[in-house]
């Protein structure tokens, strides 16, 4: 791998090689920026430039393979200009759940790029998702680069794979890996049933992730799916429970069971329907959000 095609990820910062970048992308944008991932000054991985031949019309033919294993509790975040793609340790679905395995696989691939069958990887559009960048939109240092990027990514439909990729590489949730693992587990369980072909609804997963990231103190939920592939989240505490059904259209149905204030042996059940993006605010106003916070 020529030196000028390698990019080091230092302390979570993605330092670009300006000349190589310009040559690869033809971009006229300033390439001197350094995109901050976190503040630690430690090499956590390497990015390899990888010319592709996918020929998508709206996206350029350069992507990067990112290797490196984030430390415990540290989610690697990669912010790039809109004319790049991000591929992060994604050789196959099973390996997604094990960063070490994924990194090894990517390393192997990068040493032998010509043998790679691109079809084994997700489509480039899968890798660019609105959710991937939604959590970093608020970072003022990235606003310029992200504005157009988000425009592009929001036109790409999210997939289950892109949500898993996001959770494993970019999410700020402390339990992102466990959440991805459980989602993958549900997906596999649905596939196992030969009599009934069900799949998880990606939009439903997206609303769940958005809700959790918008309310970062919320504890990791238990997850299940409905027969339509809509994800359901549940929290149980000492004398109550809450279930939220996330529908693909953005609707969220929340059911809270708590003891009756006058008859503690009886459980009251409150049910309400709102939009997933308003759910946190609504639960906060009801005083119910604290029930599912750590």
Binder to other proteins among 232, 289, 291, 292 (CB under 8 A)?
Answer: 232
Task: Find the binder of other proteins among 41, 72, 196, 265 (CB under 8 A).
Answer: 196
Binding flag, residue 189, other proteins (CB under 8 A): yes
The residue range among 5-13, 26-34, 107-115, 190-198 that interacts with other proteins, by the rule CB under 8 A, is: 190-198
Coil, helix or strand at residue 232 = strand
Q: Which of 198, 214, 258, 280 binds other proteins (CB under 8 A)?
A: 198
Q: How many CA atoms lie within 13 A of 14 on its CB side?
A: 21
Residue from 269, 275, 281, 290 in contact with other proteins (CB under 8 A): 269
Q: Map the footprint of other proteins across residues 126-155, applying CB under 8 A.
A: none
The residue from 255, 258, 274, 280 that contacts other proteins (CB under 8 A) is 255
Q: Give the helix ranges, DSSP H, for the chain.
A: 18-25, 99-110, 124-127, 130-134, 143-154, 160-169, 176-192, 202-214, 276-286
What distance in Å separates the CA atoms of residue 130 and residue 29, rounded to the nearest whole number? 22
245 binds other proteins (CB under 8 A): yes
Question: Which segment (57-65, 68-76, 136-144, 220-228) binds other proteins by CB under 8 A?
Answer: 220-228
d(CA 203, CA 23): 37
What tokens were used for 124? 């480039």
Contact 183, 205 (CB under 8 A): yes
Q: At what angle do helices 176-192 and 160-169 cross, to 10 degrees?
A: 150
Give residues in contact with other proteins (CB under 8 A). Answer: 182, 185-186, 189-190, 192-193, 196, 198, 222-228, 232, 234, 243, 245, 253, 255, 257, 267, 269, 271
């Amino acid at each position: 791998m020529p030196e000028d095609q390698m990019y080091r990820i230092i302390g979570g910062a993605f330092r670009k090689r300006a000349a190589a970048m310009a040559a690869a992308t033809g971009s006229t944008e300033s390439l001197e920026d350094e995109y901050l991932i976190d503040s630690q000054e430690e090499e956590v991985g390497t990015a390899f430039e990888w010319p592709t031949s996918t020929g998508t019309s709206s996206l350029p033919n350069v992507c990067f393979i990112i290797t490196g294993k984030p430390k415990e509790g540290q989610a690697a975040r990669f912010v790039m200009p809109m004319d790049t793609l991000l591929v992060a340790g994604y050789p196959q679905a099973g390996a997604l759940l094990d960063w070490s395995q994924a990194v090894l696989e990517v390393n192997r691939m990068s040493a032998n790029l010509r043998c790679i069958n691109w079809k084994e990887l997700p489509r480039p559009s899968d890798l660019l998702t609105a959710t991937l960048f939604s959590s970093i939109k608020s970072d003022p240092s990235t606003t310029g680069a992200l504005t157009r990027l988000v425009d592009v990514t929001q036109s790409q439909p999210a997939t289950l794979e892109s949500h898993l990729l996001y959770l494993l590489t970019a999410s700020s949730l402390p339990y992102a890996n466990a959440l991805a693992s459980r989602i993958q587990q549900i997906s596999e369980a649905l596939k196992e049933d030969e009599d009934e072909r069900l799949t998880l609804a990606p939009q439903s997963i997206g609303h769940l992730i958005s809700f959790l990231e918008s309310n970062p103190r919320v504890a990791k939920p238990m997850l299940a799916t409905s027969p339509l592939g809509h994800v359901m989240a549940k929290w149980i505490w000492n004398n109550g429970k809450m279930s939220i059904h996330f529908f693909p259209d953005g609707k969220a149905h929340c059911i809270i069971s708590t003891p009756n204030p006058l008859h503690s042996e009886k459980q009251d059940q409150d049910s309400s329907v709102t939009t997933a993006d308003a759910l946190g605010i609504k639960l906060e106003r009801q005083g119910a959000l604290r029930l599912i916070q750590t």
